[in-house]
């Protein structure tokens, strides 16, 4: 039944008039637009599907999530549809733009504390909702916090969000290494135990620093170094000396979020009760303090783009050589399975721009090299910028990078940081050939379910959901196989499927399991539009770093771990590796395989119950309905009956198995049919 007050947004491009560009990101360009029949200004995110061949899964997930969420602090999608080879996502127009844009335009040194408290309280409310519904955002940062003309704050960008689910007594943690390096929690980088909602709390802490200083800690460094620093250094924080303008409660709140051990971080719900948020004000306050006097969003955006382009040109020459060299050296060292510490140290020492640390980390309060095990006494331990500068100047290149501590740091990690980082470079030139034949795979975020609406909201919106189903789900791109890189998630071992097409009856059998340690990496190392697969452009982004990492734990279980344990030349254990280093990795592999086996058995059972035996070839809809019936009251689908969430969950499950041949052409046809 349709909700009486629900607006129906048209699903045809000719009903919209595109105005100026107001934003762009890794995957899309966002326009201000007019919805002609409703005479309403909206924002439209336009994604060129032809060129998005390396992240269709992210797009699908994003649109799904946006169409299901129902919270005042989360940016929803009104509707979405394809137009030519583009996907259009129609959303409310957030005239203030993102907090990042606002800071860049008018507050380069960051916001005042009450503004930060107000913004973060709203973001936290959104996180409480997402977490309560089993969702991890995974990309909380100022660039994804949008403000509308009334000062309402909404968290946006669900392109990399993920869903946790609890099936019986087993709670699944995410195992995908995804996010934007500066904001990424250490456990997300580490990969061993997966991660959970607490990863968002870390990102929120980093976002707090970003809003306080105008930029995130380590933001000027290339991703590789950001990862190393996050893993090795004490957590960043607000410095008592430099950040005198901020209250003790703000410093405490940040420190509470930025604890390396996720278990020691508060839940979003608990954090919301922190006394820092008592300083939060109204939306009006935001309008008067940060929005008043700003130029229209489109104009600001245009100016920023011009500035960014100029900066890039200026810095290109400066960064290009150094950056390319350091990255190449890392790639060489890592993808050659070289885990000889001395070797890696000397390669790492090629990164030399640590000398300006006093201008960067210390401005962030994150340049301290001292360790801080927990939040207590956070700033007493911190070095002043002067101290850091002096000690760095006196140090050897290795000291400057903290490389003397590498060994110690490694020992304290269940997976060594460089091992974790290895996956990032699977796309390196050397590996392309090897990966070629198996470089296609499919996503395994497929156990993720969208259980986003509370049952009450579901009831209230039952009509709306049904009504929207045809419109919105019709726009959900069926999961397609990236043409170039492999996507994978935690449900299935990504690298266990043959890349051969599923075309006939024989192929309907489950894909051949074939443990191969091929390319699983996906996602840009650097800021890089999704249409660009050219890794050569990476260095250009050293200055403007907005790209995301996405590597799955499968790298680390089937390849990463093995690679570092066994010497490629001898096939035996590497002489440098101790039993205590090997054991956790082996246990992890075992655990992963057990989980995957369980999933396979469960899904085989489901499939056996269906009478439709042609679903792999004849379209997903048949499979969805067959499987929806079969899974009515089972496993992870329990509790989402009758909702389109369930369909989506089932669809995700199927796609995990069946979509080896989901070419873009197919799913676009499927979208047109209005599945
Ligand atoms: N509804 C909106 N109203 C106004 N501006 C928006 C809206 N949605 C997005 N933007 C702007 O467009 C930018 C890019 O949008 P978005 O983050 O969705 O794209 P993306 O490709 O997913 O980006 P990312 O690089 O974070 O992955 C945002 O940072 C924001 O400034």
Mutate to test the pocket of ligand 1, among 16, 21, 23 (most ligand atoms within 8 A of CB): 23
User: Is the shortest distance between the CB of 424 and ligand 1 below 6 Å?
Assistant: no
Tokens found for residue 296? 């229209």
Token pair 């995908």 in the structure block, residue = 176
- Which phi-psi region, left, alpha or beta, contains residue 350 (left: φ > 0; alpha: ψ -120 to 50)? alpha
User: Is the shortest distance between the CB of 58 and ligand 1 below 6 Å?
Assistant: no
User: Is the shortest distance between the CB of 98 and ligand 1 below 6 Å?
Assistant: yes
**H/E stretch holding 331:** helix 297-335
The answer to whether the pTM exceeds 0.90 is no
Predicted confidence at residue 196, as pLDDT, reads 77
Protein residue closest via CA to atom 11 of ligand 1: 23
**H/E stretch holding 171:** strand 170-171
Q: From CA 179, how far away is CA 68, in angstroms rounded?
A: 22
Token pair 């009515």 in the structure block, residue = 632
- Asked if 59 and 160 touch (Cβ cutoff 8 Å), the reply is no
- The 10 Å CB-count burial string (b at 16+, else e) for 209-233 is bbbbbbbbbbbbbbbbbbbbbbbbb
Predicted confidence at residue 65, as pLDDT, reads 78
- Asked if 335 and 70 touch (Cβ cutoff 8 Å), the reply is no
Token pair 């009856």 in the structure block, residue = 505
Residue 94 Cα: closest atom of ligand 1: 3
Which of 55, 57, 70, 139 is labelled catalytic?
Answer: 139
User: Is the shortest distance between the CB of 74 and ligand 1 below 6 Å?
Assistant: no
- Asked if 545 and 219 touch (Cβ cutoff 8 Å), the reply is yes
Tokens found for residue 327? 């990255």
Give the pairing of strands 153-155 and 170-171: unpaired
Predicted confidence at residue 523, as pLDDT, reads 25
Tokens found for residue 448? 């993720």
Residue 135, Cβ neighbours under 10 Å: how many? 27
Predicted confidence at residue 283, as pLDDT, reads 95
Residue 160 Cα: closest atom of ligand 1: 27
User: Is the shortest distance between the CB of 43 and ligand 1 below 6 Å?
Assistant: yes
Predicted confidence at residue 609, as pLDDT, reads 64
Protein residue closest via CA to atom 26 of ligand 1: 25
Predicted confidence at residue 386, as pLDDT, reads 30
- Asked if 447 and 652 touch (Cβ cutoff 8 Å), the reply is yes
Mutate to test the pocket of ligand 1, among 20, 98, 526 (most ligand atoms within 8 A of CB): 98
Q: How far apart are the first and last CA of the chain?
A: 19
Mutate to test the pocket of ligand 1, among 16, 69, 157 (most ligand atoms within 8 A of CB): 157
- Cα-to-centroid distance, 43 and ligand 1 (Å): 10
The answer on whether 646 is annotated among ligand-binding residues is no
Tokens found for residue 45? 């995110």
Residue 24 Cα: closest atom of ligand 1: 14
User: Is the shortest distance between the CB of 127 and ligand 1 below 6 Å?
Assistant: no
Low pLDDT (below 70) residues in the chain: 1-5, 26, 52-55, 58, 159-180, 191-195, 316-599, 604-675
Residue 92 Cα: closest atom of ligand 1: 1
Q: Which of 559, 521, 221 lies closest to 361, judged by CA?
A: 221
Give the pairing of strands 145-147 and 97-98: antiparallel
Q: Is the complex ipTM higher than 0.95?
A: yes
User: Is the shortest distance between the CB of 23 and ligand 1 below 6 Å?
Assistant: yes
- Look at the alpha carbons of 109, 113, 118, 121 in this order and tell me if their dihedral is positive or negative: positive
Q: From CA 636, how far away is CA 56, in angstroms rounded?
A: 24
Q: From CA 365, how far away is CA 511, in angstroms rounded?
A: 51
The tens digit of pLDDT for each residue in 333-377 reads 332 222 333 443 444 444 333 333 333 343 344 333 333 333 333
Predicted confidence at residue 115, as pLDDT, reads 97
Catalytic status, residue 459: no
């Amino acid at each position: 039944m349709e909700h009486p007050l629900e607006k129906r947004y048209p699903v045809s491009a000719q009903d919209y008039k595109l105005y100026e560009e107001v934003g762009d990101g890794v995957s899309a360009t966002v326009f201000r637009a007019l919805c002609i029949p409703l005479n309403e200004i909206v924002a439209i995110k336009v994604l060129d599907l032809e060129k998005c061949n390396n992240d269709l899964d992210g797009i699908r997930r994003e649109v799904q999530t946006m169409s299901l969420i129902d919270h005042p602090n989360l940016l929803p999608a009104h509707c979405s549809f394809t137009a030519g080879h583009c996907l259009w996502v129609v959303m409310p127009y957030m005239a203030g733009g993102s907090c990042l844009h606002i800071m860049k335009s008018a507050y380069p040194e960051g916001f005042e504390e009450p503004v930060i408290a107000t913004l973060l309280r709203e973001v936290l409310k959104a996180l409480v909702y997402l977490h309560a519904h089993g969702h991890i955002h995974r990309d909380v940062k100022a660039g994804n916090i949008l403000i509308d003309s009334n000062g309402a704050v909404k968290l946006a960008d669900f392109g990399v969000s993920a869903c946790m689910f609890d099936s019986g007594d087993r709670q699944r943690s995410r195992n995908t290494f995804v996010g934007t390096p500066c904001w990424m929690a250490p456990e997300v980088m580490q990969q061993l135990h997966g991660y959970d909602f607490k990863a968002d709390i870390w990102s929120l802490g980093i976002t707090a620093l970003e809003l306080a200083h105008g930029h995130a800690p380590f933001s000027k460094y290339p991703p590789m170094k950001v990862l190393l620093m996050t893993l090795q250094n004490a957590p960043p924080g607000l410095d008592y000396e430099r950040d005198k303008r901020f209250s003790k409660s703000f410093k405490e709140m940040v420190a509470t979020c930025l604890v390396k051990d996720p278990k020691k971080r508060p839940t979003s719900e608990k954090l919301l009760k922190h006394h820092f948020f008592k300083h939060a004000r109204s939306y009006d306050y935001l309008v008067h303090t940060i929005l008043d006097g700003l130029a229209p969003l489109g104009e600001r955006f245009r100016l920023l783009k011009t500035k960014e382009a100029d900066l890039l040109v200026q810095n290109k020459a400066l960064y290009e050589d150094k950056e390319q060299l350091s990255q190449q050296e890392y790639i060489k060292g890592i993808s050659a399975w070289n885990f000889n510490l001395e070797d890696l140290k000397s390669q790492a020492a090629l990164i030399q721009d640590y000398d300006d640390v006093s201008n960067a980390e210390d401005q962030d309060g994150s340049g301290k090299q001292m360790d801080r095990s927990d939040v207590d006494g956070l700033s007493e331990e911190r070095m002043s910028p002067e101290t850091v500068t002096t000690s760095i100047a006196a140090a050897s290149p290795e000291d400057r990078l903290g490389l003397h501590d590498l060994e110690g740091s490694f020992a304290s990690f269940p997976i060594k940081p460089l091992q974790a980082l290895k996956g990032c470079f699977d796309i390196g030139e050397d590996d392309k050939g090897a990966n070629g034949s198996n470089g296609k795979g499919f996503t395994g975020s497929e156990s993720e379910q969208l259980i986003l609406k509370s049952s009450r909201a579901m009831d209230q919106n039952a009509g709306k959901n049904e009504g929207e189903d045809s419109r919105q789900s019709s726009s959900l791109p069926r999961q397609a196989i990236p043409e170039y890189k492999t996507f994978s998630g935690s449900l299935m071992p990504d690298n266990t499927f043959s890349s051969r097409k599923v075309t006939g009856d024989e192929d309907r059998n489950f894909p051949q399991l074939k443990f191969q340690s091929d390319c699983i990496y996906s996602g840009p190392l650097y800021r890089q539009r999704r249409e660009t697969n050219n890794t050569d452009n990476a260095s250009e982004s050293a200055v403007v770093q907005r790209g995301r990492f996405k590597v799955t734990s499968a790298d680390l279980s089937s390849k990463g771990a093995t690679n570092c344990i066994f010497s490629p030349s001898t096939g035996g254990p590497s002489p440098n590796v101790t039993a205590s280093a090997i054991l956790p990795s082996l246990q992890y592999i075992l655990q992963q395989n057990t989980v995957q086996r369980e999933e396979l058995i469960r899904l085989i059972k489901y499939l056996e119950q269906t009478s439709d035996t042609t679903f792999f070839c004849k379209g997903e809809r048949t499979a969805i309905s067959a499987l929806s019936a079969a899974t009515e009251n089972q496993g992870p689908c329990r509790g989402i009956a009758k909702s389109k969430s369930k369909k989506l969950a089932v669809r995700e499950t199927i796609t995990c198995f069946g979509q080896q041949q989901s070419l873009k052409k197919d799913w676009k046809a499927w979208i047109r049919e209005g599945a």
